[in-house]
Structure 1
Amino acid sequence: MADDQILKLIGIRIRDLRKERGLSQEQLGEKADFHFSYIGGIERAEKNISILNLAKIAAALEVHIGELFVYIKSHHNVHSEKEAELEEILQILLEQDIKGLRKAKTILKELYE
């Protein structure tokens, strides 16, 4: 994958997550401690963002940094809707400790086996 394609995908993903949360570029910039023009530059793939700055943006968006590398449009068809639901479930599970994960696994097995 070309470098500029990676920047475009990350920029699109950040924009999509920002819009899903109803944030403007200025609001996201304030939350992440960046100027809104920097956020715009990232979203337009004009900035080569560092890992540390990606972590700040992920925290401001209240997602795990790995979510910035999941290039899924969460609308348009049933498959994407299913993926969006799975993403939400995964986010809940990622916030759990091992005891919580085991409890979730037990519940799922009871429901679906």
Structure 2
Amino acid sequence: MNGNSILTMVGKRIRQIRKLKGYTQEELGEKCGFHFSYIGGVERAEKNISLINIQKLANALEVPVQEFFSYEKTSFRKNTEREDVLTDVNELLLEMKTQDLKKVRLFLTEIMNNK
């Protein structure tokens, strides 16, 4: 396992826990004193998070630190580009308000009907 893969796995786990707790990146950032863009950077493995900041996130999410290192190795298969794009789109949609999601649904329905 290289350094980038642990950042990716921990970032994904933090995102998963944050969403399970019902927090947006902004709400979590406020709880632990970080800017929402820092939370996003950690979740996308763009930031090499310090142990002190891991503890702050764990406290804000009310989970033990080891929860961030509890992940399953589901598959060694590399995602296809399509799967990566779908994952990215899904993560963006999860951050949106219901009203905006309805607009996206309408937009996508229009695109699909015009094929």
TM class, shorter-length: 0.5 to 0.7
Tell me how far 1:72 sits from its aligned partner. 4.0
Show structure 1 runs of 5+ residues with no match. Answer: 74-113
The 5-angstrom pairing of residues 72-87 of structure 1 reads 72=72
Secondary structure of 1:34 counterpart? coil
Following superposition, which runs of at least 4 residues in structure 1 exceed 2 angstroms of deviation?
Answer: none
Equivalents in 1 of 2:69, 2:6: separation in Å? Answer: 9
Which residue in the other structure is 2:103 paired with?
none
Q: 2:56 matched to 1:52?
A: no
Count of aligned residue pairs for this structure pair: 73
Give CA deviations for 1:14-64 in whole Å, capped at 9, x if unaligned: 000000011000000000110000000000000000000000000000000
2:32 partner letter: A
- Identical aligned pairs, as a percentage? 59
Cα distance in 2 for partners of 1:72, 1:52 equals 24
C-alpha RMSD over aligned residues: 1.2
- 2: CA distance, partners of 1:25 / 1:5: 22
Query: Which residue pairs with 1:67 in the alignment?
Result: 67
1:15 maps to: 15
Deviations 1:65-108 (A, max 9, x none): 111100149xxxxxxxxxxxxxxxxxxxxxxxxxxxxxxxxxxx
TM-score norm. by structure 1 comes to 0.63
Equivalent residue number for residue 80 of structure 1: none
TM-score, with length taken from structure 2: 0.62
